[in-house]
Chains A and B, each alone.
Chain A
Amino acid sequence: MKNLFDSGHRGCAGCCDAMAAKFTLMGAGEDSIVINPTGCLEVMTTPFPETSWNVPWIHSLFENAAAVGAGVEAALKSLGKENTKVVVMGGDGATLDIGMRSISGTFERGHDLTYVCIDNEAYMNTGVQRSGATPYNASTTTSPSGKVSFGNPRPKKNMPAIMAAHGAPYVATTSIGFPKDMIKKVAKATEIEGPTYVHAHAPCTTGWGFDTSKTVEVAKMAVQTGLWPLYEMEDGEVTKVRKIGKNVKPVEDYLKMQRRFKHLFTMEGGEEEIAKIQAIADKNIEDFGL
């Protein structure tokens, strides 16, 4: 079978976005139209006159992908082509920050589309600046660690909960470290009528600072520590959770793999900060029964 997402793109070696796009299309299938806001994935796949996409694809602006998706969906309906799936793939900045109004409106109105957020926890396309998805204490170029700072002072915005609160019939978290989980959830999301949301955790080799071969390993570790719980919500209720059980790992194992948390292991007071991150993981484990 021909890959719906093709070779020759300019993504970094070990690129999380490329994997996320590939898995998304494996789940959504060829009868899909993809909407992509501005970001790494858009830039690396479509340098005019080339494209890596073997499905119809459109990029408009940074903050409007969900609205463009709503428009595509409305057009398909009016033209009698309802069977085609509408899939928006946006980064965390395009989704949680600048595109918030657009995605909120689209979900509130109940358009039949699937929004996949590819969350690499910062603005990677512009050089690793902090976004609303950047985790607590991560060092980015606009939330750098320094003599008086441990990096980003705020925890991640809980976007899946916000989307569930919109009345979305299906909200799921997934990770590129669990491709089969992601493909399955995207497939399920695209089959369900109405606005569905899949939030995929996607470690970025360049932005997070780890070897290009470790993308999947880091992604798995986020899940195994409880920092990125994998769950599904249907009609606002958590219906399925991926258990970690006894295999749970301390957050330290996850943090030490990445340059963006390196300062926590060298700065005075770092230990207390790591403990605060452990508390975030512990709360996830408790809340979701991981």
Chain B
Amino acid sequence: MAPENKLDKSKMVVVEGSYAVAHAVKTCRPNVISAYPITPQTHIVEDLSQFMADGEIPNCEYINVESEFSALSALVGSSAAGARCYSATTSQGLELMHEVLFNVSGMRLPVVMTIVNRAVSAPISIWNDQQDSISQRDTGWIQLYAENIQEISDMTAQAYKISEDKDILMPAMTCMDGFILSHVYEPVVLLEQDLTDEFLPAYEPERILDPKNPLSFGAFADPNYYAEFRYLQEQAMQKALKKIEDVANEFYDIYGRYYGGLIDEYRTDDADIIIMAMGSIVGTIKDLIDKLRDRNVKVGLLKVRAFRPFPAEAIKEVIKDSKVIVTLDKNISLGLNEGALCTETKSVLYNSDIRVPVIGYMIGHGGRDIKVDTIEKIVDDAEEVIKTGIRIESQFADLKEELL
């Protein structure tokens, strides 16, 4: 049974999501922040810049780089030199970082970066979906997705604790839906400095760039070694599965707040229909579930917090007794006609004894508003699947047929 979230109302303030994240970063005591402005991430870096200008982040350097490519590249150097590092980006900026993402992970540098999820060009769009970070799934970064402003704020400290663990040493993306979370004002408890100092130990890596012990980092590996490097990264990802859970629990012990570990569940116990989703859409789904439950529709929600590492066992445990799984994806793998959650959920079930049909919907692309009605219709479809089996395995929701 998941711990109950205890929000201290007396501590709550109404702030913009971006400010909550910037404040969380500040309390994590970073040594180097390196970032390039891009909508809708800008407010985070502006708020951090203001903190710097006001002298509120001690022992920290802020690098105003000339591109996202350099934003993350600079952090390769900073992290290797022993600094706790932070960046934030989105969409085009994240795609520009693609090459560096692999590099940071391969060099096992525990950089934490907030991704303010946004659609990718073309056509150019500043609005939200999750194609940007999902497209980076194979780069060796831990990916966590937040449901609301409180969670993305708190997730920042959790991400450092996971990434910097000596058994893990993998970089992490904390993902928040652009505008929907970044530009919305909500009452939140800003990450508490005293509690964060208790929760998050100082970053003390064993091996850094140091003239007293001159090691070389970033050597080339010939075929005798390369595969083992990849294996060790995968091993670290597998260890992160437990660490993500542990850290969520440790966070709860200290702060009293909890949003799930690898996953979270909502009314799944006796559910025939389980909706799987990531990010801010989760809130909408919860509201709908309450409404449908009143009409005796046995529907529940499986919120995926960790997309990398992919929580296969946790997912299987939740869905094993259900009758149909519905995945909602704000992304698509073009040429497969499926979103990532759909594909990966099916893949973890294939060699198991669990025989639950999975249907997928691609939804909310490029900032298309996700209406409760749309999800309700999807639940209707799911009920049909229980009765008659799958007719359409994966499809776009809410297409405007008149434009096609």
Q: Do chains A and B touch in the complex (CB under 8 A)?
A: yes
Query: Looking across the interface, which residue of chain B has its beta carbon closest to that of A50?
Result: B219
Please measure, in the bound complex, the distance between the C-alpha atom of A54 and the C-alpha atom of B211, giving whole angstroms: 9
Q: Given A46-B219, A58-B217, A61-B103, are A76 and B69 neighbors across the interface (CB < 8 Å)?
A: no
For residue A148, give the distance in angstroms from its CB to the closest CB of chain B: 37
Please measure, in the bound complex, the distance between the C-alpha atom of A84 and the C-alpha atom of B211, giving whole angstroms: 8
Q: Given A56-B211, A67-B73, A84-B211, are A105 and B83 neighbors across the interface (CB < 8 Å)?
A: no
A193 within 8 A of B: no
B78 within 8 A of A: yes
A102 within 8 A of B: yes
Please measure, in the bound complex, the distance between the C-alpha atom of A53 and the C-alpha atom of B83, giving whole angstroms: 22
A71 contacts B74, CB within 8 Å? Answer: yes
Partner of B77, one of A50, A71, A104: A71
For residue A47, give the distance in angstroms from its CB to the closest CB of chain B: 6
On chain A, the residues within 8 Å of B64 by CB distance are 109
Q: Which A residues from 64 to 91 make CB contacts under 8 A with B?
A: 64, 67-80, 84
Please measure, in the bound complex, the distance between the C-alpha atom of A48 and the C-alpha atom of B232, giving whole angstroms: 15
Please measure, in the bound complex, the distance between the C-alpha atom of A32 and the C-alpha atom of B212, giving whole angstroms: 10
**Per-residue contact bits, chain B 55-95, to A (CB 8 Å; 1 contact, 0 not):** 00001110111110110011111111111010000000000
A57 within 8 A of B: yes
Selecting from B125-133, B220-228, B270-278, B320-328, the interface stretch reads B220-228
For residue B161, give the distance in angstroms from its CB to the closest CB of chain A: 20
Q: Given A79-B59, A109-B63, A109-B64, are A71 and B220 neighbors across the interface (CB < 8 Å)?
A: no
For residue A168, give the distance in angstroms from its CB to the closest CB of chain B: 16
Partner of A47, one of B67, B83, B220: B220
Query: Looking across the interface, which residue of chain A has its beta carbon closest to that of B83?
Result: A75
On chain A, the residues within 8 Å of B380 by CB distance are none
A43 within 8 A of B: yes
A70 contacts B70, CB within 8 Å? Answer: yes
Range class of the B interface residue count = 35 or more
Please measure, in the bound complex, the distance between the C-alpha atom of A162 and the C-alpha atom of B219, giving whole angstroms: 31
On chain B, the residues within 8 Å of A80 by CB distance are 59
B394 within 8 A of A: no
Please measure, in the bound complex, the distance between the C-alpha atom of A70 and the C-alpha atom of B59, giving whole angstroms: 16
A58 contacts B214, CB within 8 Å? Answer: no
B314 within 8 A of A: no
Q: Given A58-B209, A59-B219, are A71 and B73 neighbors across the interface (CB < 8 Å)?
A: yes
For residue A124, give the distance in angstroms from its CB to the closest CB of chain B: 16
B105 within 8 A of A: no
- Considering residues B85, B210, B217, which has the most beta carbons from chain A within 10 angstroms of its beta carbon? B217
Please measure, in the bound complex, the distance between the C-alpha atom of A169 and the C-alpha atom of B59, giving whole angstroms: 27
Partner of A71, one of B60, B75, B103, B210: B75
Query: Looking across the interface, which residue of chain B has its beta carbon closest to that of A52?
Result: B216
A75 contacts B81, CB within 8 Å? Answer: yes
Range class of the A interface residue count = 35 or more
B63 contacts A61, CB within 8 Å? Answer: no
Please measure, in the bound complex, the distance between the C-alpha atom of A54 and the C-alpha atom of B231, giving whole angstroms: 29
Q: Given A31-B211, A58-B216, A78-B31, are A67 and B74 neighbors across the interface (CB < 8 Å)?
A: yes
B386 within 8 A of A: no
Please measure, in the bound complex, the distance between the C-alpha atom of A73 and the C-alpha atom of B80, giving whole angstroms: 11
Query: Looking across the interface, which residue of chain B has its beta carbon closest to that of A72?
Result: B77
On chain A, the residues within 8 Å of B99 by CB distance are 61
B218 within 8 A of A: yes
Please measure, in the bound complex, the distance between the C-alpha atom of A76 and the C-alpha atom of B32, giving whole angstroms: 10
A54 contacts B73, CB within 8 Å? Answer: no
A63 contacts B83, CB within 8 Å? Answer: no
A71 contacts B66, CB within 8 Å? Answer: no
B312 within 8 A of A: no
Q: Given A70-B70, A105-B70, are A76 and B81 neighbors across the interface (CB < 8 Å)?
A: yes
Please measure, in the bound complex, the distance between the C-alpha atom of A178 and the C-alpha atom of B74, giving whole angstroms: 33
On chain A, the residues within 8 Å of B268 by CB distance are none
Query: Looking across the interface, which residue of chain B has its beta carbon closest to that of A30?
Result: B211
On chain A, the residues within 8 Å of B222 by CB distance are 47-48
- Considering residues A43, A80, A102, which has the most beta carbons from chain B within 10 angstroms of its beta carbon? A102
Partner of B74, one of A57, A70, A104: A70
B69 contacts A33, CB within 8 Å? Answer: no
Q: Given A31-B211, A60-B77, are A74 and B65 neighbors across the interface (CB < 8 Å)?
A: no
**Per-residue contact bits, chain B 105-134, to A (CB 8 Å; 1 contact, 0 not):** 001000000000000000000000000000
Query: Looking across the interface, which residue of chain A has its beta carbon closest to that of B70?
Result: A67
B82 contacts A75, CB within 8 Å? Answer: yes
B34 within 8 A of A: yes
Q: Given A58-B77, A74-B83, are A104 and B60 neighbors across the interface (CB < 8 Å)?
A: no
On chain B, the residues within 8 Å of A72 by CB distance are 77-78, 80-81, 209
> Which residues in A have some Cβ–Cβ distance to B below 8 Å?
30-33, 35, 42-43, 46-51, 53-61, 63-64, 67-80, 84, 101-102, 104-106, 108-109
Sample of 28 A–B contacts (CB below 8 Å): A47-B219, A48-B219, A48-B220, A50-B219, A51-B216, A53-B216, A57-B217, A58-B76, A58-B77, A64-B69, A67-B65, A67-B69, A68-B76, A69-B77, A70-B70, A71-B32, A71-B79, A71-B85, A74-B61, A75-B61, A76-B81, A78-B31, A78-B59, A78-B83, A102-B66, A104-B66, A105-B66, A105-B70
Top 7 A-B pairs ranked by shortest CB distance?
Answer: A71-B77, A105-B66, A71-B74, A64-B73, A59-B218, A51-B216, A75-B81
